[in-house]
């Protein structure tokens, strides 16, 4: 539940517009003031009784009845047992429902659902089937309103377990996986767009205000948590999406589903992601997509197939066509990143970096593109320098790119920081820097990488 502590009674009064009926109930106002002050210092035992009286008599007097009421009840649940605890649990579930009833503009139906699902999950209160049944109607009707990645994971995890128990089809697992990932990308884009705005301000030499700095930390933390949840979703899917499962499923479903462009596009994308592109089924699905929707994605997959057949010029032409057709900046950036990955596999490091940089230029929050460039630099050590020191210095440049990936997209920060640490471990150590006399000096790269790095001072 979105919470906001009302630090003083004045702040409370300023935040509400009292109706005449509320204004005529001084007891509610008094109890509101009392429990808000107790809650401010986390004295939830003392806050409970005045809160309960206010909530029962004047539920719509202030949003604090719900934001602070949730904190009070969670404390009581944690510090009680038996029938008392069960009663508080029922109270908090009712509180969630009432939040939408009395403050629908602040607590939407999806907000309430997310609050209840997280609470019930944290307290082991529902089975996979119950969670699935709770979430599915809103998920199908209003996916765009979901903002809690943990709830999306709970839904997907429940579905996978139900599939493994034999009650849900594998196709539904794939469909929900795509929907969940798509929504997580939307949520993370909201974070990274704000993060990038603050980073650009800093890079321009303008210090962030205290408020902006706090927001940057919050958005970065939220993005990082979302990245961990997305990793858990991928782990939950596991080998269900391996080629040995995908290919027979699509072979079986093709005739019935081939006119469903959404199904076809997802099937092609999933086979590409799992590197099932050598199977004839990929070609068949791709051709169907191209016939129905000659879009950017279709030309990208055409380029993939031409690249595999050795038609490099044709592949590049299709890749460029894909970029030309895509109008959405984030999707265009993703296509450019995929092209960069294909170029890397072909050993065309300079071209790979060029496409990765285009991906960054199109979407400055594309951390994966920064990581790709970092890996290109790291695999070029032996080609970039005439001495051991110069060759190993390239790892500083690689680490810098990995650091940038973590900053612009905290959802991949775990992987990015791990890569940066690995690269720095391969760079010249303090002994090498001392013996070379290069501390504080600059190493220039004459290979394809170009540019330079400054050697750390001892």
What distance in Å separates the CA atoms of residue 185 and residue 296, rounded to the nearest whole number? 19
Could you tell me if 351 and 408 lie in one domain?
Answer: no
Q: Which residues contact 168 (CB under 8 A, 6 or more apart)?
A: 159, 162
Tell me the two tokens of residue 136: 């599915």
Query: In this structure, is residue 454 part of a structural domain?
Result: yes
Which of residues 107, 124, 159 is at a domain's end? 107
Which of residues 55, 82, 107 is at a domain's end? 107
What pTM did the predictor assign? 0.86
Could you tell me if 339 and 375 lie in one domain?
Answer: no
Which of residues 65, 82, 107 is at a domain's end? 107
* Rama region for 237: left / alpha / beta (φ>0; ψ in -120 to 50; rest): alpha
Query: In this structure, is residue 165 part of a structural domain?
Result: no
Q: What is the pLDDT of residue 312?
A: 84
Q: What is the pLDDT of residue 401?
A: 97
Cβ–Cβ < 8 Å for 68, 31:
no
Domain span at 428: 365-458
C-alpha distances (whole Å) from 395 to each of 239, 333, 348, 421, 423 are: 34, 26, 19, 10, 5
Residues of the chain with pLDDT under 70: 1-24
Query: In this structure, is residue 117 part of a structural domain?
Result: no
**Domain count along the chain:** 3
Q: What is the pLDDT of residue 458?
A: 80
DSSP annotation string for 337-400? HHHHHHHHHTT-HHHHHHHHHHHHHH-TT-HHHHHHHHHHHHTTGGGS-SSHHHHHHHHHHHHH
Distance of CA 353 to the CA centre of its chain: 25
Query: In this structure, is residue 456 part of a structural domain?
Result: yes
Q: What is the pLDDT of residue 209?
A: 96
CATH number for the domain that contains residue 342: 1.25.40.10
Strand partners, 453: 443
pLDDT digits (tens, 9 = 90+) for 425-449: 999 999 999 999 999 999 999 999 9
What distance in Å separates the CA atoms of residue 363 and residue 369, rounded to the nearest whole number? 10
What distance in Å separates the CA atoms of residue 334 and residue 355, rounded to the nearest whole number? 10
Q: What is the pLDDT of residue 4?
A: 39
Q: What is the pLDDT of residue 1?
A: 60
């Amino acid at each position: 539940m979105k919470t906001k502590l009302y630090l003083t009674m004045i702040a409370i009064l300023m935040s509400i517009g009292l109706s005449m009926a509320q204004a005529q109930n001084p007891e509610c106002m008094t109890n509101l003031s009392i429990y808000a002050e107790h809650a401010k210092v986390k004295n939830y035992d003392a806050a409970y009784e005045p809160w309960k009286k206010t909530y029962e008599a004047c539920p719509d007097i202030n949003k604090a009845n719900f934001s602070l009421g949730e904190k009070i009840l969670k404390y009581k649940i944690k510090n009680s047992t038996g029938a008392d605890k069960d009663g508080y649990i029922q109270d908090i579930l009712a509180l969630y429902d009432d939040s939408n009833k009395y403050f629908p503009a602040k607590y939407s139906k999806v907000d309430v659902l997310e609050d209840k699902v997280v609470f019930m999950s944290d307290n082991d209160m529902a089975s996979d089937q119950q969670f699935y049944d709770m979430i599915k109607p809103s998920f199908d009707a209003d996916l765009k309103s979901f903002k809690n990645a943990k709830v999306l994971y709970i839904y997907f995890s429940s579905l996978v377990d139900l599939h493994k128990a034999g009650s849900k089809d594998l196709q539904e697992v794939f469909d929900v996986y795509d929907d969940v990932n798509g929504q997580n990308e939307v949520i993370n884009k909201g974070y990274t767009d704000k993060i990038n705005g603050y980073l650009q301000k800093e890079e321009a030499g303008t210090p962030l205000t205290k408020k902006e700095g706090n927001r940057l930390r919050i958005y970065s933390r939220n993005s990082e948590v979302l990245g961990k949840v997305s990793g858990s979703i991928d782990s939950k899917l596991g080998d269900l999406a391996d080629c040995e499962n995908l290919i027979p499923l699509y072979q079986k479903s093709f005739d019935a589903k081939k006119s469903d462009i959404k199904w076809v596009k997802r099937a092609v994308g999933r086979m590409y992601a799992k590197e099932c592109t050598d199977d004839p089924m990929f070609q068949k699905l791709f051709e169907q997509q191209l016939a129905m929707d000659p879009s950017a994605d279709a030309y990208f997959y055409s380029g993939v197939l031409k690249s595999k057949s050795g038609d490099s010029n044709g592949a590049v032409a299709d890749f460029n066509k894909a970029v030309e057709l895509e109008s959405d900046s984030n999707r265009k950036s993703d296509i450019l990143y995929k092209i960069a990955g294909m170029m890397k596999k072909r050993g065309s490091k300079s071209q790979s970096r060029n496409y990765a940089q285009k991906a960054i230029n199109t979407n400055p929050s594309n951390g994966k593109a920064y990581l790709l460039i970092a890996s290109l630099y790291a695999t070029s050590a032996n080609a970039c320098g005439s001495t051991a020191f110069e060759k190993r210095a390239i790892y500083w440049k690689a680490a810098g790119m990995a650091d940038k990936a973590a900053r612009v997209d905290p959802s991949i920060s775990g992987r990015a920081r791990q890569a940066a640490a690995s690269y720095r471990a391969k760079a010249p150590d303090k002994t090498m820097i001392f013996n070379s006399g290069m501390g504080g000096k600059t190493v220039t790269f004459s290979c394809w990488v170009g540019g330079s790095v400054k050697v750390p001072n001892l």
